[in-house]
Structure 1
Amino acid sequence: MQVTETLNEGLKRGYSITVSAEELDAKVNDKLKEAQPDIEMKGFRKGKVPMPLLKKQFGQRLLGEAMQETIDGAMSKHFEDSGDRPALQPEVKMTNEDWKEGDDIQVEMNYEKLPEMPEVDLSALKLEKMVVKAGDAEVDEALQNLAETAQDFKDRKKNAKAKDGDQVVIDFLGKVDGEAFDGGAAEDYPLVLGSGSFIPGFEEQLVGVKAGEEKNVEVSFPDDYGAENLKGKAAVFECTVKAVKEPVAAEINDELATKFGAEDLAALKTQIAERLEAEYAGAARQVMKRDLLDQLDEKVSVDLPPSLVEAEAKQIAHQLWHEDNPDVQGHDHPEVEPTDEHTKLAERRVKLGLLLAELGQKAEIEVTDAEMTQAIMNQARQYPGQERAFFDFVRQNQQMQQQLRAPIFEDKVVDHVAEQATVTEKEVSKDDLQKAVEALEDDE
């Protein structure tokens, strides 16, 4: 086998690989010898079929397999010897298209290699970590929000009209074509107007009713309604309003605390403070992470594989186009051409991605099975009732696994880098932290 360099320009590499006919023939013979003990043929005992006959019978079938294995082996040996890591799958093609058995194989291989990342003195990084304490005002605000979620309802004044957000207690009987239908009746049903719990158009017609009033609500069942006999049908619901109630927030006391699993109000306040500070810490980490990545970006200058930058720029442009055109769900739209701004952002992402991968590899950072399982479970919660199916889908989909693994790996490497850097804590207000987070969003 002969390997000759044909291109060495920046990160681009090209090689001509020649596999001699003798090498290929030897590969086929090795395969036949390996299979010979198990082959049976009429007129011969098992394992005793002569090689010339085996070659005549099976040689052509094994030739393509031997060619592929030989070329793959040549490529693997080249990358092992050279230390090159291709940015994308190498382009490989036979150049002697008129090849026939007995000829040497001529193969051309082209690829872009990943650059060698420079050493970075991580101890020279200086980072600031914002720290926000949950004060009484923040805890009280969160408590008030909890009280509103645990709201109750009390009767409005006599003859008061129901408003959106009120609860009306009703008896109702639904009819289609003058006939009552199964599941269309209830007594003392507490319906919150505006909750969207009834079919479209029902709740809106009860806005303005009073206790003691009777009202016919006329609606049509959606075409995709669950009951086949009601799909698209017009219906009349005869409603009797028993009560009209306004929402009231729950009182902030020990009873409210027990509703949320705390022993008393003091314990609930402690839990809220801890949760808020955990949220603040997460936001502060994102701010520090951006600063860390900015410093790494400034410190590292390296040639980047054009193919990776181009692919990333196209992905960025495509994603942003869909964000600007949310009504377009599929990809049946004109090709989106990346701008200089997209390309600049792509260069940053590719450079930092390669650098973090290198730092993670050197530090032997890995994503554990437990971390992957947790990530899959978190994602699966977005599909209520289909968690098991989603879990199985991810387990069988390597690309999806990589999408979940990549951010976990990146965060672990960022934590590793931060451990080597000089980190100074700075206590700030919630507003200061919020402004810093908003600045990150504006830069994206």
Structure 2
Amino acid sequence: MQVTETQKDGLKRGYEITIPASELEEKVTGKLEEARPNVELKGFRKGKVPLALLKKQFGPRLLGEAMQEAIDGAMAKHFEESGDRPALQPEVKMTNEDWKEGDDVVVSMSYEALPEIPEVDLGKVKIEKLVVKADDAAVTEALEGLAEQAKTFETKKGAAKDGDQVVMDFVGKIDGEAFDGGSAEDFPLVLGSGQFIPGFEEQLVGVKAGDEKAVEVSFPEEYQAKNLAGKAAVFDCTIKDVKKPAKAKLDDELAKQFGAESLDALKGQVSERLEAEYAGAARAVMKRTLLDELDKLVDFDLPPTLLDAEAKQIAHQLWHEENPDVQGHDHPEIETTEEHKKLAARRVRLGLLLAEMGQKNKIEVSDAEMTQAIMAQARQYPGQEREFFEFVRNNAQMQQQMRAPLFEDKVVDYIFELAKVSEKEVSKDELKEAVDKLEDE
């Protein structure tokens, strides 16, 4: 077998691999000799079939297997000896298209090699960690929010206003005829909640208990029930009660509604939750700072194909964010800009750097961590958790999509341990400002 270099331009590599016909013949013969003791053909005892007959009957198929094995072996040996790691699957094709049995096999192999990743002295990386304490004001604010969730309604005198609850019977009609699903009794509706179609709740502002009100509205053109979409309707409403909101008190009874034994216990839980939220937000800021620092410290050639693919993906993603109404991919070709390419270069560079650090330091995502991540995502599909779990388990691409961010975060945590991290106590508003800045970039 002979391997000849045909291209070496930056990270681009090209080779011509020649596999002698004699080597293929030897492989085929070896396969036939290995199988011969177990072969039975009509007119011959088991294991006594002549090699020439076996070669005539099975040779062509085995020749194809031998060619593939020889090519795969040549590639594996080349990568082992050269130390090259292809950025993507190498392109391999036969160059002697008029090949016939008995000829040498000549194939071309081309790929882009991954670059040499420089070492980074992580001890010189300086990062600031923002720390926010859950003070009394933040805990009280969160408790007020829980009290708002637990609010009740009590009967009031006078007219209903925005935020009040109206209890009513109603019958909806189109062209004077009641329609299915358009009637209810003792229905509680909070005005301003947006629970009913646009224009409905606003017409009930000012009603009192005992009033009768004809609410005239039109169903939206895109309404889910096609038989109602775009049609004008009249709802005859009988107001039975008007109630005002009564916020729950901050006491032990409220705490029990949220699974805590007492108000003090609930305060402790709220404080822990807030500090966990603050820590998560601070870590996001810290990670961005780290990536910015690493981007300044390293510079190396990048595989053009990876860059191009990443730039196209970025352009495509941003285009859809700017055109949210287009759900599919039936749209004009999206051109990549210099800004897309600049962002792609950063992502590819940092991705290769983190992958190298993870590999060198034997950082892996365990099966338990993957299972935990899958289960967490499955909870977003109530009632279909098992189906989602099975889908991921049988979909290698989906597994890789979920494993990649887990791996990146483990590498980032490893770097945090070695970098020089200083803490800075800030307010909740300052942390929010830092997070908002990330989203704007």
TM-score by length of 2: 0.91
Q: Which moved more, 1:312-321 or 1:41-50?
A: 41-50
Counterpart position of 2:107: 107
Instruction: Say whether 1:256 aligns with 2:243.
Output: no
Counterpart position of 2:145: 145
Change (3 A) 1:294 1:179: closer
Counterpart position of 2:9: 9
Pairing of 1:240-319 with structure 2 (within 5 A): 240-319=238-317
Counterpart position of 2:118: 118
For the residue of structure 2 that corresponds to 1:241, the secondary structure is strand
Pairing of 1:336-347 with structure 2 (within 5 A): 336-347=334-345
Counterpart position of 1:49: 49
For the residue of structure 1 that corresponds to 2:168, the secondary structure is strand
Change (3 A) 1:152 1:419: same
Counterpart position of 2:32: 32
Residue by residue over 1:308-363, the C-alpha shift from the partner in whole angstroms, topping out at 9 and shown as x without a partner, is 11111111111111111111111111211221111111111111111111111111
Query: How far did residue 236 of structure 1 move?
Result: 6.8
Query: How far did residue 49 of structure 1 move?
Result: 2.1
Residue by residue over 1:358-401, the C-alpha shift from the partner in whole angstroms, topping out at 9 and shown as x without a partner, is 11111111111121122222222333332222222111111111
Instruction: Say whether 1:441 aligns with 2:433.
Output: no
For the residue of structure 1 that corresponds to 2:362, the secondary structure is coil
Distance 2:204 2:376 in 1: 39
Pairing of 1:157-172 with structure 2 (within 5 A): 157-158=157-158, 160=159, 162-172=160-170
Instruction: State percent identity of aligned pairs.
Output: 74
Amino acid at match of 2:55: K
For the residue of structure 2 that corresponds to 1:3, the secondary structure is strand
Unaligned runs of 5+ residues in structure 2 are none
Unaligned runs of 5+ residues in structure 1 are none
Residue by residue over 1:233-277, the C-alpha shift from the partner in whole angstroms, topping out at 9 and shown as x without a partner, is 998765432101122321222211111112222221221111111
For the residue of structure 1 that corresponds to 2:189, the secondary structure is strand
Counterpart position of 2:94: 94
Q: Which moved more, 1:97-106 or 1:328-337?
A: 328-337
Instruction: Say whether 1:354 aligns with 2:352.
Output: yes
Query: How far did residue 405 of structure 1 move?
Result: 0.8
Distance 1:98 1:399 in 2: 37
Query: How far did residue 99 of structure 1 move?
Result: 0.5
Instruction: Say whether 1:75 aligns with 2:79.
Output: no
Distance 1:61 1:208 in 2: 86
Query: How far did residue 20 of structure 1 move?
Result: 0.6
For the residue of structure 2 that corresponds to 1:426, the secondary structure is strand
Q: Would you say how many aligned residue pairs link Structure 1 and Structure 2?
A: 441
Distance 1:418 1:121 in 2: 12
For the residue of structure 2 that corresponds to 1:169, the secondary structure is strand
Instruction: Say whether 1:155 aligns with 2:121.
Output: no
Amino acid at match of 1:347: A
Distance 2:249 2:265 in 1: 16
For the residue of structure 2 that corresponds to 1:419, the secondary structure is helix
Distance 1:202 1:49 in 2: 89
Change (3 A) 1:433 1:59: same
Query: How far did residue 190 of structure 1 move?
Result: 2.4
Change (3 A) 1:216 1:18: same
Q: Which of 415, 418, 425 is matched with 2:416 structurally?
A: 418
Distance 1:27 1:79 in 2: 22
Q: Which of 372, 387, 408 is matched with 2:385 structurally?
A: 387
Distance 1:225 1:391 in 2: 33
Counterpart position of 1:61: 61
Query: How far did residue 301 of structure 1 move?
Result: 1.6
Counterpart position of 2:207: 209
Pairing of 1:175-194 with structure 2 (within 5 A): 186-194=184-192
Distance 1:234 1:139 in 2: 48
Amino acid at match of 2:288: R
Distance 1:229 1:286 in 2: 48
Q: Which moved more, 1:383-392 or 1:13-22?
A: 383-392
Query: How far did residue 92 of structure 1 move?
Result: 0.8
Distance 1:8 1:198 in 2: 67
Q: Which moved more, 1:223-232 or 1:206-215?
A: 223-232
Distance 2:224 2:340 in 1: 46
Change (3 A) 1:150 1:372: same
Distance 1:324 1:380 in 2: 29
Amino acid at match of 1:381: R
Residue by residue over 1:37-57, the C-alpha shift from the partner in whole angstroms, topping out at 9 and shown as x without a partner, is 343322223333222111111
Query: How far did residue 183 of structure 1 move?
Result: 7.2
Distance 2:201 2:367 in 1: 48
Query: How far did residue 302 of structure 1 move?
Result: 1.1
Change (3 A) 1:285 1:188: same
Counterpart position of 2:396: 398
